[in-house]
Structure 1
């Protein structure tokens, strides 16, 4: 089972939900868990900045690496009681990184959170969960955060 997360409350909620429903303490583990996060290339983050942005690359890269480390550390804390778990941070667009991980691990299930974007924001940013439901070669569970948790 692959769980794709980023540094958002929505994805941490999806991971917690997965742990509660599939990896509860005292229950036999049905799946090997792989927690995955994607780090966009620094050049893609500042690509819209244009001329003169090259000197920003090292700073942006360092910030992205710190964010990935924070995401993995939080995932490790949340998954402390899971016996068979791996953590991966891959560089690239989250949509393709997640689908590639599903194939690489022969995952039976993918779990992703849902940011609850409007149609407009989804169209502009692209929905990772929507992309994965159409392109991942396994069952995909999109976990939505209850409204009262926002």
Structure 2
């Protein structure tokens, strides 16, 4: 019996159409029956805000407000992971791991690519023009420049 070469494919997801398209494209074009592939879905959850005891207006933030914000953040992460699971529900030839980390997506993705040492990092591209990219920063461009593994940037067609 031949043992298949193992590959680890890290896919950054954010629940947007571009990252779901990148995940779908990866399943069709990167994942292969010739390998024992593990798909690692990575979602970077916005860091929890640190609230001072009093906000600028002198109002106190209650623990209920903070707990509600945390619950919302966790529910959002679960929702995004569930959207991704629907994309690969028919793919039985791939193992799937899910990682949810806190922080700026640019930093989280690069740090996890260094920690997990995947064979490739797959990220979607929003395709913003120069001005938006300059103002918002491009996650895919940052990863292409800083990740410690090969990076595959998947751009969703405009049609």
Task: Give secondary structure in 2 for the equivalent of 1:68.
Answer: helix
Displacement of 1:7 in angstroms is: 1.7
The answer to whether residue 93 in structure 2 is matched with residue 93 in structure 1 is no
Displacement of 1:22 in angstroms is: 2.0
Q: Deviations over 1:52-104 (max 9, x none)?
A: 59455333322221111011112222223243221111111111111111112
TM-score (norm 2): 0.79
The 3 A distance-change label for structure 1 pair 53 and 138 is farther
Q: Which of the pair is proportionally richer in helix?
A: 1
Q: Rg bigger for which structure?
A: 2
The answer on whether the counterparts of 2:15 and 2:83 sit within 8 Å (CA) in structure 1 is: no
The answer to whether residue 116 in structure 2 is matched with residue 105 in structure 1 is yes
Question: In 1, distance between residues paired with 2:66 and 2:136?
Answer: 22
The 3 A distance-change label for structure 1 pair 79 and 125 is same
Task: Give secondary structure in 1 for the equivalent of 2:128.
Answer: coil
Q: Deviations over 1:95-141 (max 9, x none)?
A: 11111111121112100001112222222221110110000011111
| Residue equivalent to 1:42 | 48
Match of 2:23 among 8, 15, 22: 15
| Residue equivalent to 1:145 | 156
Question: In 2, distance between residues paired with 1:103 and 1:31?
Answer: 19
Unpaired runs of at least 5, structure 1: none
Unpaired runs of at least 5, structure 2: 1-8
Question: In 1, distance between residues paired with 2:157 and 2:145?
Answer: 24
TM-score (norm 1): 0.84
The answer to whether residue 78 in structure 2 is matched with residue 72 in structure 1 is no
Question: In 2, distance between residues paired with 1:126 and 1:135?
Answer: 14
